[in-house]
Amino acid sequence: MDFLKSMGIAASGLRAQAGRMRVLSENIANADSTASTAGGDPYRRKIPTFSSEIDRALDARIMKMGKIGLDQSNFRSKYDPSHPAADANGNVKFPNVNSLVEMSDLKEAQRSYEANLNIVSATRRMIQRTLDILRA
């Protein structure tokens, strides 16, 4: 049934946005994680990607989390010779995570999630209203 199909598609969007939230929370939580060895690389920011694919069981195009990319931009560097992860020159590399960017991405994920939730509740309301015809 088309109603159940659209609900399934919206559910796939919910799942993908939940996965995006997981990646973003990983980025935010690791915003200050430095390397465990001296002079090593710290946490590298992860980028969630999405792809559209056909679900055979549902016979519709759904959304899925794609591969998680790694942000190749430069790490932040700070002079702190007493830090255990400092290199020979006393510089410590910090992750290339910008909390502001992550926060705005988080808001976007939240909004997309809400949009998909609205689809689910609107579909349910439509089914309910249609069945109400029989009850009248």
Which residues form the interface with other proteins (CB under 8 A)? 1, 3-4, 7-8, 11, 14-15, 18, 120, 124, 127-128, 131, 134-135
> Which is nearer to other proteins, 55 or 87 (by Cβ)?
55
Give the shortest CB-134-to-other proteins separation in angstroms. Answer: 4
Question: Are 120 and 11 a contacting pair, CB within 8 Å?
Answer: yes
> Which is nearer to other proteins, 49 or 130 (by Cβ)?
130
CA angle 103/108/113 to nearest 5° reads 125
Question: Are 116 and 10 a contacting pair, CB within 8 Å?
Answer: yes
Give the position of tokens 């992750």. 95
> Which is nearer to other proteins, 82 or 128 (by Cβ)?
128
Give the shortest CB-100-to-other proteins separation in angstroms. Answer: 29
Give the shortest CB-19-to-other proteins separation in angstroms. Answer: 10
Distance of CA 91 to the CA centre of its chain: 31
Residues in Cβ contact with 89 at an 8 Å cutoff, skipping those fewer than 6 apart: none
> Which is nearer to other proteins, 74 or 128 (by Cβ)?
128
DSSP 58: T
Tokens of 91: 């510089």
Give the shortest CB-131-to-other proteins separation in angstroms. Answer: 5
